[in-house]
Amino acid sequence: MKEQIWKGLESISRISLCLFLLAFPQSVSVSQIFAGLTIATTYPLFFGNQENRETWKRLQIPFFVFLGIYILTLISSLISAETYGPFFKKFIKQSEFGDFWMLFLFPASFLIASKEKNQKLLRGFLYASAAISVLLGCISLFSEVRVGKFVSNGFKYALGDRLQHYSGNIGPIKLYLPIGMMNTHLTFGGLLGLCLPGLVADWFAGWNEKKGKTFIFKTILIFAGFVVLFFNQSRSIWLGVGFILLLLILNGNLSLREKLPNLSLRWKLVSGILIFCVFISAGYLFRNNWLIQRSISQIFEVHNTENQRYYIYKNTIPLIRDHLWIGVGGGNYKDSHWKESSQMIFEDEQLWYELYITPRGHAHNDLLHWMTVGGIFAGIFFLLFWGNLFHPFFQNKLESKKSLSILTIGIFSLFPAGFFQCYLLDDEVLLPFFVFCGIFLGGMSSQKDKTSFDKSKLVYFKIFGAIGIPILLYWLFWIPRLNLKPLEVYNRRVRSVDQAIVRTVQKNILKLESTDTQETLSPPDFSDLTFAQARIPFQIEGCLTHRYPNPPQPRKTPFSFTVYIHPSAQNFPQETEITIVSRESFDQDQQYWAQAEEDLGKIQVSLKTGKNPVLIPNFLLKNSSPEFPNGVYFRDFRITFKGWKEDRKIEFPKLYFGKICDTVIPLTR
């Protein structure tokens, strides 16, 4: 009877884990049900026999290390709490500790994967899971509606549902940002990051095997997966996937370097032609997909309109410095970060809206976030956890095509990717991450008697390099940017039907720190704009109708800005038409609809060389606001420059808005 119970639990736990692998690309709610069932049926098995108890001992260190992170955030929260009445309600619902139960999937999947009889089955379901993820990504690539929302609404579009982000065209076919059935492209990118590297490694491991339908299926799956990942535009996952593939090429164990195929001259020519076609196709897509253009160009730009990570990190570092040992406590990051942001707004009021819409739910960096909420020791535990994962990766000599662990090496892509996004705070990614970690280590554990291990100290140098080099590169990238002042990073949003004029306008907006003589008296830059483009109107973000702090009070001083034209300019606009536009100021990403706009009026201004002050009469509001952003509006400016000379190169004017659109009548607090 007892033996039958143990066998029944084993069967249920194995089936529930397989069903979880099918469910997590489709629904986080359904996958949580199977996750809970897997945990409930697996943990009694740890006490069923001596073999399972020994299995538990092999996993104790990484499990308790990550559990220690959650415990440190709990202790920090208890120390930081002012009252304990509503504390646990807030802590469990709003803090990082609310996801701690998912960690128990780690030992559960480890135990199931460590049994050789389960590994062939798990390999099949891992492939099925990856295929579902890629298939849903392909569907959402061509779908205007969000697939997950469409399915949950009974396969129909509900009025008011947020649509997909349009990204471009391939001929007459419209493309959208693929998110599968997830809520965001970053979450779906995280799932692709977990699945794709293992597929690539397994594909190379089976290169020398007989090529059949299975090999063709794997090839198509990998190709489609990387196409979806490319359009998904999760740049952090691009980085993470590149990182793990580089490790596979450089590392002597589980190495792609020794698996690279030996091709005949004929196949080398065919491969060369295919690679050439891929590059040509990528170039075509880049030219015709503005979202991809923006994603790639912003990697190399310091000044861009998506600079929210700068403000997140800039205001996170003081929190770590001031709460180094115990952190701010779980669930307190958002409020603590807003206090730092409020001080920044007080010093530079123009940043009010920018910092208001900046997401403050987490630090957009797994390591920084855990250090902020749990203190320095939580950060150390976080790195120790990754060290425990990297150790078997570098130590194991396994190179078998039938390896289970090789399909789950995508877990390592989330280490460098986690420096730009908190993937391990997203339950839609965290659940499969812990399962993949358990399968990875469980698969390694089952092979320990069949494979040799590298026990030299070189393994520890590899681990140190795999963890330390990404951290070093991260700070080399960010330190110069974080040394900039907030207004140096801030860029006003510019919209136009032509992206060329958007880039030109943003380039010619003077920063607050610039003096009149330094930038306006320097030799004018000739623009690449054509005569037709220079006459296209553009709308530039203005300033708010109310003043900081909360509750906002109506602004009483008229809006103003200045147009600078270099004294030696030969082809400058003779006049400008300015339309004053009223625009709502709520957070569009939170409300899931667009801000309404209304044209309020127009003014004409004649231009000359030198300084051209533009004072906007009227268009102020007298009504007070109970709380930002209610009743608070932007005053944007739709500008059209006129009077260019057709036969000469365009010399575009420079625009200066002062502190808060106050160049004519300076404002003081």
Question: pLDDT by residue (tens digit) across 519-564?
Answer: 445 566 677 888 888 899 999 999 999 999 888 999 999 999 999 9
- Per the structure block, which two tokens stand in for 665? 């009548």
Residue appearing with tokens 């990082």: 96
Report, as an integer, the average pLDDT of 155-181: 76
What pLDDT was estimated at residue 124? Answer: 92
What pLDDT was estimated at residue 294? Answer: 54
Which range (82-86, 124-128, 327-331, 524-528) has the least confidence? 82-86
Report, as an integer, the average pLDDT of 186-197: 93
Highest mean pLDDT among 139-153, 270-284, 455-469: 455-469
Q: How confident is the model at residue 204 (pLDDT cuts 50, 70, 90)?
A: confident
What pLDDT was estimated at residue 116? Answer: 86
What pLDDT was estimated at residue 512? Answer: 62
Residue 614 has pLDDT above 60, yes or no: yes
What pLDDT was estimated at residue 591? Answer: 62
Q: Phi and psi of 509, rounded to 5°?
A: -90, 120
What pLDDT was estimated at residue 518? Answer: 47
How much of the chain, in percent, has pLDDT values that exceed 90?
39
For 564-613, write each residue's pLDDT tens digit.
Answer: 998 888 888 999 999 999 998 887 766 667 788 999 999 999 999 889 99
For 493-524, write each residue's pLDDT tens digit.
Answer: 999 988 889 889 988 898 864 444 444 455 66
Report, as an integer, the average pLDDT of 289-313: 61
Residue 82 has pLDDT above 70, yes or no: no
424 in Cβ contact with 430 (< 8 Å): yes
What pLDDT was estimated at residue 358? Answer: 87
What pLDDT was estimated at residue 99? Answer: 81
Q: What is the mean pLDDT of the chain?
A: 83
Residue appearing with tokens 């590298």: 454
Burial class (CB in 10 A: 0-12, 13-18, 19+), 56: middle
H or E element at residue 614:
strand 610-615
Provide the β-strand partners of residue 440: none
Provide the β-strand partners of residue 614: 561
More confident residue, 295 or 99: 99
What pLDDT was estimated at residue 78? Answer: 81
More confident residue, 97 or 568: 568
For 42-72, write each residue's pLDDT tens digit.
Answer: 988 887 777 778 888 888 899 999 999 999 9
Report, as an integer, the average pLDDT of 208-233: 85
For 625-657, write each residue's pLDDT tens digit.
Answer: 888 889 899 999 999 999 888 878 888 999 999
Report, as an integer, the average pLDDT of 259-275: 62
How much of the chain, in percent, has pLDDT values that exceed 70?
82
For helices 105-113 and 50-80, what crossing angle results, to 10°?
A: 160
Which residue, 541, 549, 543, is CA-closest to 625? 549
Pairing outcome for strands 538-544 and 633-642: antiparallel
What pLDDT was estimated at residue 525? Answer: 66
Decide: helix, strand or coil at residue 469: helix
- Per the structure block, which two tokens stand in for 310? 């700068």
What pLDDT was estimated at residue 569? Answer: 85
What pLDDT was estimated at residue 18? Answer: 93
Q: How confident is the model at residue 215 (pLDDT cuts 50, 70, 90)?
A: confident
What pLDDT was estimated at residue 305? Answer: 42
Residue 420 has pLDDT above 70, yes or no: yes
pTM for the structure as a whole: 0.85
Work out the number of other CB atoms within 10 angstroms of the CB of residue 356.
18
What pLDDT was estimated at residue 284? Answer: 57
What pLDDT was estimated at residue 566? Answer: 87
What pLDDT was estimated at residue 417? Answer: 94
Decide: helix, strand or coil at residue 245: helix
309 in Cβ contact with 420 (< 8 Å): yes
